[in-house]
Amino acid sequence: MPVTINDIARLANVDKSTVSMTLRNHPNARNLRAETRERIRKIAHELGYQSNASAVSIRTGQVNTIAVVGEFGRERMVMYSANLAGIIQEASRLNFGVKLFSDQDLKQTFTDINANRIRHVISMSVWKEKREETADHVRKLGLELVYIYEHPHDGHPCVTIDNIEAASQAVRHLASLGHRRIALACVPHLFHYIEERHEGYLRGLEQSGLTPDPELIFCSEETETHIRRLLALPVRKRPTAVFAIGDNLAMLTEKTAVRAGLHLPDDLSIFGFGNDPAGKYALSSLSTIEECFEQRGQIAVKLLVEKTCGLSPARPGFYLVPPKLVIRESTAQRNGKKG
């Protein structure tokens, strides 16, 4: 015999309208206690309750689907996979489906989103122009939008990591190991996150009582050339540690250092950013920063559907996930003792 809303209401000790609001993710359900909503969803799941999504869609003019918009090429999908895992997990918990849309032709994409009666959108676009155009379409169609990368825009919030604090923590960790000449391996500042990690590096030096040395800082695509330049400096000027704004730069730094005859990490400690799975198998397994992609995907869905996520904005629109340092073998005490 099919499970009904009355069955769930009886076991959850609430009335059936409360069950209906919760399972349909009605805006009024936000007025209920989070414990009540979770109890209802858990009971519904355990009983195998199946809602009539088609009927709800016809009645409300909406579907329980989240549109995820991004650049879904091969290279981006490596970065997006953990975000999508978090989005799918949380959407499933809230009885929502997920549909992917390309950001290559946003006019057509939002025509399709509107035709599918989807009201909730997560943008994974990183380029400023795409993010601005996405906000324009959302405003015209009256949709809900949350960004996962970069900054908020046009009143729509963003869920990202605290890049400044993360970089600062990495530099402070290196300083705590006795390093005083800490270099920065950076790239041109095309995105906010690059600027923020650069700023975090400078802040970490300041908090450690160290003065930035312009000779130890580069922001260039020519990483290998600059690392060779740094390692060719006289011993008293040469960096003993490098903070790289991405794990790819950190692993390239390792390779360049080994080719120059240095021993890792005793001669050069290296700290990356991103916790790329390949970092575990680098020449010296990489100390890095976990970007919490899966958690960010979950928070974005909660913000869209429930308008709350258990994380207070650091400033209007900025939901910053605290960084997590992952310490491995690529960082060592200045005297050669690993740490």
210 domain-assigned: yes
271 domain-assigned: yes
Query: What integer is the mean pLDDT of 6-13?
Result: 76
Task: For 321-333, write each residue's pLDDT tens digit.
Answer: 999 999 999 999 9
At 337, the pLDDT band (50, 70, 90 cuts) reads very low
56 domain-assigned: no
Of residues 120, 167, 126, the one with CA closest to residue 144: 120
32 domain-assigned: yes
Task: For 62-104, write each residue's pLDDT tens digit.
Answer: 579 999 999 987 767 777 889 999 999 999 988 899 999 999 9
Residue 233: φ, ψ to 5°: -65, 155
pLDDT at 195 exceeding the cut of 60: yes
Q: Are residues 135 and 255 in the same domain?
A: no
| β-bridge pairing 288-290 and 324-326 | antiparallel
Q: Are residues 248 and 315 in the same domain?
A: no
338 domain-assigned: no
CB-CB contact of 301 with 66 (8 Å): yes
Q: Are residues 95 and 150 in the same domain?
A: yes
Q: Are residues 208 and 152 in the same domain?
A: no
Least confident of 21-25, 194-198, 269-273: 21-25
Task: For 99-119, write each residue's pLDDT tens digit.
Answer: 999 999 999 999 999 999 999
Q: Are residues 201 and 248 in the same domain?
A: yes
Least confident of 56-70, 158-172, 297-311: 56-70
pLDDT score at 58: 39
Q: Are residues 249 and 157 in the same domain?
A: no
Cα(165)–Cα(186) distance, rounded to whole angstroms?
16
Domain that holds residue 66: 62-161+293-321
Q: Are residues 133 and 32 in the same domain?
A: no
Q: Are residues 117 and 184 in the same domain?
A: no
Q: Are residues 143 and 28 in the same domain?
A: no
308, two tokens: 């709350």
Q: Are residues 183 and 94 in the same domain?
A: no
Q: Are residues 168 and 264 in the same domain?
A: yes
Buried b (16+ CB within 10 A) or exposed e, 72-81: beeeeeebbe
Sheet containing strand 182-186, strands side by side: 217-219, 182-186, 241-244, 269-271
337 domain-assigned: no
CA distances, 136 to each of 54, 129, 139, 264 (Å): 29, 11, 5, 50
166, two tokens: 């993360």
CB-CB contact of 99 with 118 (8 Å): yes
At 27, the pLDDT band (50, 70, 90 cuts) reads low
Q: Are residues 239 and 173 in the same domain?
A: yes
Q: Which tops the pLDDT comparison, 50 or 140?
A: 140
pLDDT at 226 exceeding the cut of 70: yes
Q: Which tops the pLDDT comparison, 55 or 137?
A: 137
pLDDT score at 52: 54
The CATH number of residue 33's host domain is 1.10.260
The CATH number of residue 136's host domain is 3.40.50.2300
Amino acid at 38: E
Query: What integer is the mean pLDDT of 230-243?
Result: 95
333 domain-assigned: no
Give the number of domains in the chain.
3
Share of the chain above pLDDT 70, in %: 91
Write the DSSP symbol of residue 262. P
Query: What integer is the mean pLDDT of 12-41?
Result: 74
Cα(104)–Cα(143) distance, rounded to whole angstroms?
19
Mean pLDDT over the full length of the chain? 89
pLDDT score at 59: 46
DSSP string, 207-241: HTT----GGGEEESS-HHHHHHHHHTS-TTTS-SE
Run of H or E residues at 123: strand 120-123
Query: What integer is the mean pLDDT of 292-317?
Result: 93
114 domain-assigned: yes
Cα(270)–Cα(274) distance, rounded to whole angstroms?
13
pLDDT at 41 exceeding the cut of 90: no
